[in-house]
Amino acid sequence: MKRLVIVANRVPDPKDRGATAGGLAVALQDAVTRRDAMWFGWSGKTAEATATEPALVRQGRLTYATLDLGDSDYRRYYQGFSNGSLWPTLHYRLGLAHFDRGEYAGYREVNAAFAKALAPLLREGDAIWAHDFHLFPLGAELRRQGCRQRLGFFLHVPFPPHAVFSGLPRAGEMLADLAAYDVIGLQTEDDAANLRAALAAEGQEEAAGRVSAFPIGIDADAFTKLAERAVEKQEMARFRRSLAGRALVIGVDRLDYSKGLPQRFVGYDQLLARYAGHRSRVTYLQVTPISRGDVAQYQALRRELDELVGRINGDYAEPDWVPLRYMTRAVPRPTLAGFMRHAKAGLVTPLRDGMNLVAKEYVAAQDPEDPGALVLSRFAGAAPYLEGALLVNPLDPDEIAEALDQAMAMPLDERLARWRPMAEVVREGSARNWCRAFLAALEG
């Protein structure tokens, strides 16, 4: 089997394995343990200047190769163009994007530096798989370094219609860069259609033919086991006691403006305002670890959420009931799985999301005898795949309140009828199958 080289902005910590690892690391675990593999990217550390020689750590058949980023490159490539220009644009939020030529130059320079440091480590038959919006130009830079291996690219976030994407200065260059990849993967058919149209509009018809949808999944069986085991733990018993028989609503998201958190909190506020019968009978737990905390927009969002939580709790709390419990700490996955299993409703309302794995985790965590209901944004990539969810427009707090009310009142037979096909879809569309499908395309 050919060696697999994964390139991603962040490389997981070699010590962070199994139940504690999240996201991409979990999704790729199968691929990197069954064959020789290398994981290449940023170490997560900054230094005076970007390193030219990667640090190598070997663990069985897997090699971690990481580079520290120079302070100025971190600001321009990561905070600047990746998070400040591309992230909002790809999430349809041009109004939140800024553009700075210096940052864009930094983005290109870091991609070139990655390619230069990676090229000498490559072997002839390697399959190279680059991940996400930080690395649009990496393929083209690797070709410039003389790399002839098969190159794949997967975009984890949405791709908007060309009318939106072309609002980003240098969008044409970014699309031309993508044409260097042999396989270009997106989460949904809509995203794939948007990217094909954008490539065609820039005269890249041939590259448009290499774009396909590969919806990412989770290891559902493992998550179900985590949830089952969590229920037996002391910690969960204490948590259940603290709810005093009240129904639980759960939300789990990074603190990010794409996740629709203010609108969601207002939706919950509307539930308590319009359906007074839920007061004192429901508790909403929102777990939202802070991310990108050094970016001004994220700091403003945090203040907005702090204020909303304070107001909602101030308006409705009773001496023995806090309507909205809000945590900004990360929670271990087993604990999250336990919370999800106990929750009568999972509330997942991003304004836009590539896929949204939390929605799938909520489905996998449910008790097959007594599953909860999923309230899901119609703009999450997961929406077309999870037909049993109560779909809402995440910008409409009233719609969120109505769906929550419906979820709380839903009889068992309807919950079962909605959940069973979703559980099947989540199990079949596993992380492992996602990986295999992409690699099958990449390796021809």
**Separation between Cα atoms, residue 240 and residue 243, nearest integer Å:** 5
Q: Can you tell me whether residue 45 is helix, strand or coil? A: strand
Residue whose CB is less far from ligand ADQ, 216 or 423: 216
Q: Can you tell me whether residue 432 is helix, strand or coil? A: helix
Q: What is the CA radius of gyration of the chain?
A: 22
DSSP 178: H
Smallest gap from residue 24 Cβ to ligand ADQ (A): 6
Active-site residue flag, 342: no
Residue whose CB is less far from ligand ADQ, 295 or 330: 330
Smallest gap from residue 339 Cβ to ligand ADQ (A): 10
List of residues 6+ apart from 253 with CB closer than 8 A: 259, 261, 286, 287, 288, 348, 350, 358
Active-site residue flag, 156: yes
Q: Which parts of this chain interact with ligand ADQ (CB under 6 A)?
A: 22-23, 156-157, 216, 252-254, 287, 289, 330-331, 336, 353-358, 361, 381
Smallest gap from residue 429 Cβ to ligand ADQ (A): 12
Distance, CA of 146 to chain centre: 33
Q: Which residue in the list 177, 182, 353, 405 is annotated as catalytic?
A: 353
Residue whose CB is less far from ligand ADQ, 176 or 336: 336
Smallest gap from residue 83 Cβ to ligand ADQ (A): 12
Smallest gap from residue 232 Cβ to ligand ADQ (A): 20
The encoded tokens of residue 194 equal 């948007």
Q: Can you tell me whether residue 282 is helix, strand or coil? A: strand
Can you tell me which residue has the tokens 């005269």? Answer: 203
Residue whose CB is less far from ligand ADQ, 315 or 428: 428
Among 83, 137, 86, which residue's Cα sits nearest to residue 115? 137
Q: Which residue in the list 91, 156, 162, 342 is annotated as catalytic?
A: 156
Among 436, 350, 188, 111, which residue's Cα sits nearest to residue 196? 188
Burial of 201 (0-12, 13-18, 19+ CB in 10 A): middle
Smallest gap from residue 41 Cβ to ligand ADQ (A): 15
Residue whose CB is less far from ligand ADQ, 87 or 104: 87
Among 291, 290, 285, which residue's Cα sits nearest to residue 251? 285
Residue whose CB is less far from ligand ADQ, 316 or 379: 379
Active site residues: 156, 353
